[in-house]
Amino acid sequence: SAGSMLALNDRYRPEMVVFLPSQAAAQLSVAKPINVAGTALYNYTEGYGTYLIPAVLIVIMFQTLLMVIGMVSGEERQFKLLQVYRPTFGQAGRLVIGKTFVYMMLYAVFSLFLLGLIPLIFDLPDIGNVWNIIMLLIPFLMATSFFGLTASVVFTDSDAPLLMIAFFSVGLIFLSGVSYPLELMPWYWQAAHYVFPVAPAVLAFVKLNSMGGSLVDIWPQMLTLWIQVIIYGAWAVYTTRRVYKRSNIKTGDIEA
């Protein structure tokens, strides 16, 4: 607003001088424009680190967890480690819950390093409440694990996830709405924001950790993550049972 005002002032002030009294015109002609000194909210250094790195940390967690799940699942299919039995939906559910529990325990330690120590070491924004961040990480890690188990059906070896998942890094940051306003995106990109767990998680983490918000401020993102937990959890159970069934049918261990 200040910049627009100064630009209009520079454009029209010479014309306005003609209609003023000679004394006022002389004073106006020598007047200096206002010097505006602004401070960016929540990014006082106006630097790359304080602006984008907190969002990148969540993207790193999302992508590395997907890579781990994709590599493990791809290795199981590549070396035919699934030809054991045809699980029921209950057994497939226990498999999914067991794998998710292991992944969440591993990433609880990883998140302590990535979100706890890295901001302290590199002086990144770290004004969020620890317990609020933990409450955010629970549905985020669950939704990511279920999403990875669901997507693992497309990986037939342990190398493909490294190439496919890393390709979407920049796009995931844009979908979060941190680097570009979500409200200004076309409707199909806004819809994609609710497909990947990382998008609402990044937006919620920035609100908590960089802007000092509370759980009340991130309730839309929390609701999105819990809905994703339910949808991707059920989908992961179905996908797991189908993968085991397909692997056993191919080897002739069970009848189709």
Burial readout 7-40 (b: 16 or more C-beta within 10 A, e: otherwise): eeeeeeeeeeeeeeeeeeeeeeeeeeeeeeeeee
Alpha-carbon distance values, 61 to 76, 173, 215 (Å): 23, 13, 21
Q: Which residues of the chain have pLDDT under 50?
A: 249, 251-256
Q: Is the dihedral of CA 138, 56, 41, 225 positive or negative?
A: negative
The 8-class DSSP code of residue 112 comes to I
Q: Is the pTM of this model over 0.75?
A: yes
Give the CA count within 13 Å in the CB-facing half-sphere of 81. Answer: 11
Q: Name the packing angle between helices 130-151 and 89-111 (round to 10°).
A: 140
**Where do we find the tokens 């000194």?**
37
Alpha-carbon distance values, 173 to 16, 141, 206 (Å): 48, 17, 12
Burial class (CB in 10 A: 0-12, 13-18, 19+), 80: exposed
pLDDT score, position 4: 82
In the structure encoding, which two tokens stand for residue 113, read together?
Answer: 């390093």
Query: Three-state DSSP class for 212?
Result: coil
> Distance between CA 122 and CA 108 in Å, rounded?
21
Instruction: Report which of 133, 96, 92, 135 is spatially closest to residue 115, judged by C-alpha positions.
Output: 133
